[in-house]
Every structure is written in structure tokens, then in C-alpha cells.
Chains A and B, each alone.
Chain A
């Protein structure tokens, strides 16, 4: 859907030209974040779409983000918006940085909104605003939960419906389209079409309840796997086991189902939030998994002190490739390393503090202790799959701002 991207870009150009009457607003957000951790072999990642950073000293790359948003109102019903987000992506291009650009229609008589173009896939509670540090309590959305499904944008059509009755506010959202994102390495591009996401949100007094579901169908095997697949095809006649490995690497046609539920509570003095999710898939290098987090914060004047616990685990065993006869052992082990690197089995416990310095800026300090299981370092950057348990301390200091 490069067409949609061109349409969105055209809209943005029109907005910036003076031939359209209406109101244009430019706003933005950012985080200047420094991270340090104490692992010699693993590199920290905020999510799978961002580069990993070795951090034996402070690194600004993982958490620092700058976003600029342009909103233009053509009329009471029609508007358009675009958001450029600069962050430490695996593949840094302008196209990738344009996280959304869409045309929006909102009729007067119906409480619905339709958006056409590129939008943020909304599956979990923070999905829509995970780049906006000021909007949430912690240094970053918990990596165990938000790290894996890190698609920045979905191109297609998006519907939302809101209703407001007595004390309760309700919003339902459905998005249909396709996604394309680089993960882990520049060469690994996951393309999925179709992708469908839906989310339901209830807000009642100080409570928020959220349910999300997403489906995606990978429609192309990333070129990153092609050399290995080609070699396995060559040796298939000599070793049947190679075809099983090849099928798992050839991820075209792999389907995923994501389910999530979340709850949040916000009062004058307390803030709490928890979410759980389950990712189901089979037949490929990816395994099914589930993750969750829970957080509690206490407000004291301009400060909020908080604690957050998170975990992520595979619900299937890490795949073991069949043992190969001697000539093919190296190739088999090379492939096995890929399978072993995908598992995400970790728990973390963090404590931190947020200081609302001004109305638009906040300072956060967070310390996380992470426990990793063998072959569970899928969220971290590593050459060789982690084969034993490890514990890592991660310290972050970030400054969030809005403008």
C-alpha cells in the first residue's frame, strides 16, 4: 500500500501549503533517556524494532525519542494528521519514521470516526502512545509486554465508535490493513497482510478496563532467511531433517493471534495498572508466549514513586532441530542458534520515581532487576543464544517533555 503512503504524504504537503483554509497545529513530544546496564554479553533493547545497545556506560540511544505531529482541520468533519517519530530504529528511514499519516472523517450525527492511511496499531493499553513518555508513569512501556509486538504503523482503514452513558465511557476500535516493520536486524522485515486489530475500552470513574485482539498473517518470508533456506534445500536429499528446519524458517503464511486484557486505576494518591496477553502461533520459528505486568504508584505532591513487575514466557518449548549427520552439523547448529534466540523468558522487578518538574516536563529514574532464563534472551541483542540463567540490573534516567 505504497499508494496510501503517497496519499498521506500528499495530504501533508497540502496541509503545509497555504491553499487550504482551516487550522493547522504543530505539536510534539520527546524523551531524552539514558540507560546503563551491567551485562557483558547482552545488549539492551526497548523493543524489537529498535537497535540494541551495549551499555557498560550510559547510552542515550535506547530511550531517546522525538516526535512531531501536525494536525490540520479542514472542516468540522474532515481533518488530517501526521506524526514523524525519530528513535533508534533498526532501519532508519523517513518512511519508517512517518509513524502515521491519515485522513479522518467524523460525521456530526454519529459517534464514529473513520481514518484512512497509516495509524498506530492499537492492541494493548499503551499501544497508541508508547512513544510519549510524558503520558505514562514508567521509564518505558514494560519491555516484556510491549517489546515483541512492536509494529509502528498499520496501513489501511480504522474505525472507532464511542458512547457515553451515565458514568461510563466506552470506545471500540477496529483497524484493518497491512504492516511492515524491521525487527532485530535491518535485513529482517516482517510483512503481514492482512492485519486486523480491535480494542475495547471502558472508563468508569477512576477505573479503566481494556480488551484487545489482533490477528496477523505473514505474507512474505524475510530475505534474511533466504540464504539459510537455500542451503537447507540443497542438502534436503541427503538429510530429510533439513526440510523440517527449512519449513520453520520459511515463515510466509504463519498466523498469529494476540489476546490481551488490562485494568487501570487512577485516584488522587494512587495509580495502578496491570495487563496480561497471550500470543498464539505455530509451525514456525516463532513460539506462542504470554506476558504480563503489574504496577503500583503513590503520588506525593509532584512526585510519584512506583514499582513495576513484569514477565514474559514461552508457552511452547524452544524448538530443537533434529540432529544432523556430521557433514551438516555446523549448518544445523547455525539454524538452531536462530531458533534458540527467539525465546523470550524473563522476569523483571523495577522501582522508580517520576517528578513532574513543570506542567510539560517530567524526570524519571528507574532501576530494574531482570532475571533471564536459558534461551530466553529474545528481547536482548546477542550474537549467540543465551544458554544459562542470567541476572541484569538496568538503570535509566529520562527526561520527558511535551511542546
Chain B
């Protein structure tokens, strides 16, 4: 019985926790000068308010696909807004000729590929299993 319980506990300890599965990380190219950015800076890049990194390089924010869970979670944690609200925000800017929304990609794989090959890119993905070709600069709780 004790043996059985310790096996269960070991398995539970080794399983990724619910929390880290839902955690979202912000990634950039490894050669991007920044090593850490604040929650506010993430909001500013994704809301089109800041167009440049501190070092003067243009920012290219990346979105995952419109109906994806990652996208929904990202904006909810970041701004407290739902996707329709975010879309309305961008409709106000885009259809007024003011700014364009983040580039829309498919999923985690595409975001990683783009970030790995573009020093301007910044993206969000679910934490876990990230290659060395990207660097984590923030975590969105």
C-alpha cells in the first residue's frame, strides 16, 4: 500500500501542474538586446502604442489565430478584455487608418518559427517545450 501511494505521489510530482500549463510566456529572438520586459510594455506593444524596442528596433507583435485558446487567455490575462473587445479596439484604429493590428499567425509552431528568424518579432505562447532559438522575456500570469 505504501509502495503504491509513493508511486502515485511520484507520478503526481512529476506531472506538469495545471498552473504552468496555463502560463503564457513572451518570447523574442535570442539576439534581441532586451532580457526582460514589464507587463505594461507587453500591453503597449500589443495595443500598438509602442512601435519600437528600447534599442530603437521596430517591434513586430505576433498574434495566434483568432479563435485560439492561447489568444483568448493572453488578452484576458494581459488586459482583462475579451476577444470581441480587443477586436473592437483594433477596428477603431485599423478602419480609421491609424494603426494595424499584430500580424496573425496560426499557432505556437508558427510563432516560434517567426520569432526564431526575425529580430523584430515578439510573440506569446503557452509555456513549456521551447527551443533555444527563442528567448523568454516575460511571463503573463
Contacts and interface: CB of A to CB of B under 8 A. Distances in A.
Interface stretch (B8-16, B20-28, B94-102): B94-102
Given A129-B92, A164-B50, A169-B49, A359 B98 contact: no
B97 A83 contact: yes
A128 B44 contact: no
A169 B44 CA distance: 10
B131 interface: no
B80 interface: yes
Nearest 3 CB-CB pairs, A to B? A128-B96, A356-B84, A135-B91
Contacts of B58: 76, 108
A106 B94 CA distance: 16
B95 A67 contact: yes
Contacts of B32: none
A131 B80 contact: no
Interface string B37-58: 0000000100001101000101
B114 to A, nearest CB: 14
A169 B99 CA distance: 14
A120 interface: yes
Contact of A135 (B50, B66, B92): B92
Chain A binding surface, main DSSP class = strand
Contacts of B49: 162, 164, 169
A132 interface: yes
Given A81-B97, A135-B92, 17 more contacts: A69-B94, A71-B100, A83-B97, A104-B97, A122-B96, A128-B96, A129-B91, A129-B96, A135-B91, A169-B49, A302-B84, A356-B82, A356-B85, A359-B87, A360-B84, A362-B84, A402-B87
Nearest to B88: A135
Q: Which of A102, A268, A359, A360 has the most CB of B within 10 A?
A: A359
Nearest to A203: B49
Interface of B: 44, 49-50, 52, 56, 58, 66-67, 80-85, 87-88, 91-92, 94-98, 100
Nearest to A126: B92
A134 interface: yes
Given A132-B92, A135-B92, A360 B98 contact: no
Contacts of A83: 95, 97
Given A100-B97, A119-B97, A128 B92 contact: yes
A359 B95 contact: no
Nearest to A127: B96
